[in-house]
Amino acid sequence: MALLIKGGRIITAADDYHADIYCENETITHIEPTIDPASVGSDVELVDAKGRYVFPGFIDPHVHIHLPFMGTNARDDYESASKAALAGGTTTLIEMICPGPDDEPMAAFEEWFTKADALAAVDYSFHMSVVRFDELARTQLRQIVQEQGIASFKVFLAYKGALNLPDSDLFDLLSMARELGVITTAHCENADAIDSMQQQLIGEGKTGPEWHEPSRPIAVEAEGVHHLCTFAELTGAHIYIVHTSCEPAVKAALDAQLRGVKVWVECVAPHMILDKSYAEQGDFVGAKYVMSPPLREKRHQDVLWNGLRARTISTIGTDHAPFDFQGQKGMGRDAFTKIPNGIPSVQERIDLIHHFGVLQGRIDLNTMVDACSTQAARLFGMYPRKGTIAVGSDADLVVYNPNHEHTLSVESSQSKVDYNAYEGWSVKGRAQVVTVRGKVQARDGEFTGEIGRGQLIKRKPTHF
């Protein structure tokens, strides 16, 4: 069935205008000031977008769905994560594949892909985490890029003994990424420094979630950014700093840009909306807000919003990592180091950014689209198929009601996790109709579509 969206205000990263959009065979085929429904036949679904924004489908460039972590596994699967994403207007996810240090990369890719293939109701791709770099891994990583269309790596400068690479391997990986045209995404901290500080704090009896942030302070994050940027400068690799949380880390990346380093910066919704006082709440409630890098002092939020407004920060993701408060976060009651990290936000991201960003004058609508969709598509090899509204682009569209007031809660969440980090918050703005390649998949915060409709988006390397 074809799709006609009439009377909406179309917002892209650069444009703002009123027009009708006609979609056929999963793509946008016509954009005209007015399209008469009678002129396009009878087998057409009509969506009235008068008084609504029409956005390109939003892209979350940083999510965890299948995530073995600290002896447990994240609660969502692709069905629940897709439903949550769609309820919030997100139509494409890029998930981190996170194998263990003994796992073969190709086996990990197959594991993650198999879990997505049957259940995804959104389109999806992956960042391939590199936690080993022997000859077998090198060969398989090349195959994953060239045969499976996974055009981005992920490295960790954290989690000593589990996920971090030694510097010699990091240098060689970045050199290979440059050769292949692959962009390398990176969690930037310092694994050794964090390990030492955590051992010291635990030894002093400082075991609660409020000590998570002091164990990995802003200096550690900034040093990690500087360290990776130095390696990128030496190798010519293109890099992307994930979940940048604080002023010194942002400045380290911008300083590197001025030296010619090809580095882009991501921030995530929790760091922009929540501050470290949430993780300092008593009765272990603070464990709900443990993520890495940690929530910071509120003053750092202005740096993130200002960087977005200036478009020196490129993207807004979530680092969605859903672990239950009961039974999973509780693993760390005796030591904050055992609390599974993550603040689930894939459903709430767009409404939070609209409410606290656009409505409060921190960013405009074009910047919101750029940071929440277009830049991710450009950086990760999906543009203009994704990330914009144009003839020939996928018909991933969000009809958005900017005046709809609703309350965020665990009851209204499509995620399987047992809490909502933004419980009871009233926000203004919600996706009214969400389409994936021309098919309506969600209406008014509820899933109405087809499980398994999502496709793996194979991407070509572009960062040579």
**CATH classification of 56-379 is 3.30.230.10, yes or no?**
no
What gap in Å lies between CA 410 and CA 389, rounded to an integer?
32
Question: Do 343 and 421 touch, CB atoms closer than 8 A?
Answer: yes
Say if residue 406's pLDDT is above 80: yes
Please write the tens of the pLDDT for every residue from 24-52.
999 999 999 999 998 888 899 999 999 99
Segment 58-77 mean pLDDT: 94
What gap in Å lies between CA 61 and CA 459, rounded to an integer?
14
DSSP annotation string for 421-463:
TTTT-EEEEEEEEEEETTEEEEETTEE-S-TT---B-------
Question: Do 287 and 325 touch, CB atoms closer than 8 A?
Answer: yes
What gap in Å lies between CA 316 and CA 295, rounded to an integer?
16
Percent of the chain's residues with pLDDT above 70? 100
What gap in Å lies between CA 320 and CA 343, rounded to an integer?
6
Say if residue 161's pLDDT is above 80: no
Question: Do 436 and 57 touch, CB atoms closer than 8 A?
Answer: yes
DSSP state of 392: T
What gap in Å lies between CA 234 and CA 261, rounded to an integer?
9
The CATH 2.30.40.10 domain(s) of the chain lie at 2-55+387-447
Please give the span between the terminal C-alpha atoms of the chain, in angstroms, as a whole number: 40
CA distances (Å), 345 to each of 74, 133, 191, in order? 13, 32, 26
The CATH 3.20.20.140 domain(s) of the chain lie at 56-379
Q: Which residue has the tokens 């459903």?
A: 347
Say if residue 463's pLDDT is above 80: yes
- Binned at pLDDT 50, 70 and 90, residue 71 comes out as confident
Say if residue 241's pLDDT is above 90: yes
CB within 8 Å of 205: residues ≥ 6 apart: none
Say if residue 454's pLDDT is above 90: yes
Question: Do 431 and 399 touch, CB atoms closer than 8 A?
Answer: yes
Say if residue 163's pLDDT is above 90: no
CA dihedral 41, 45, 47, 53 (to 10 degrees): -100
Please write the tens of the pLDDT for every residue from 264-289.
999 999 999 999 999 999 999 999 99
Selected residue with higher pLDDT from 271 and 163: 271
Say if residue 67's pLDDT is above 80: yes
DSSP annotation string for 135-197:
HHHHHHHHHHHHHH---EEEEEE-STTTTBPPHHHHHHHHHHHHHHT-EEEEEES-HHHHHHH
What gap in Å lies between CA 331 and CA 185, rounded to an integer?
29
- pLDDT attached to residue 21: 98
- pLDDT attached to residue 162: 81
- Inter-axis angle of helices 299-309 and 247-258, to 10 degrees? 30
- Binned at pLDDT 50, 70 and 90, residue 58 comes out as very high
Question: Do 149 and 460 touch, CB atoms closer than 8 A?
Answer: yes
Please give the single-letter amino acid code of residue 116.
Answer: A
Please write the tens of the pLDDT for every residue from 94-133.
999 999 999 999 999 999 999 999 999 999 999 999 999 9
- pLDDT attached to residue 433: 98
Please write the tens of the pLDDT for every residue from 197-209.
999 999 999 999 9
**β pairing state of 58-63 and 90-97:** parallel
- Binned at pLDDT 50, 70 and 90, residue 395 comes out as very high
> What mean pLDDT is reported for the chain?
97
Fold topology of 2-55+387-447:
Urease, subunit C; domain 1 (2.30.40)
Say if residue 425's pLDDT is above 80: yes
User: Torsions phi, psi of 401, nearest 5?
Assistant: -95, 105
What gap in Å lies between CA 17 and CA 38, rounded to an integer?
23
- Binned at pLDDT 50, 70 and 90, residue 295 comes out as very high
Sign of the alpha-carbon dihedral angle for 241, 244, 248, 251 = positive
Q: Is the peptide bond before 293 cis (omega within 30 degrees of 0)?
A: yes
- pLDDT attached to residue 189: 94
What gap in Å lies between CA 231 and CA 228, rounded to an integer?
5
Listed residue (31, 33, 82) closest to 446, CA to CA: 82
- pLDDT attached to residue 76: 98
Say if residue 323's pLDDT is above 90: yes
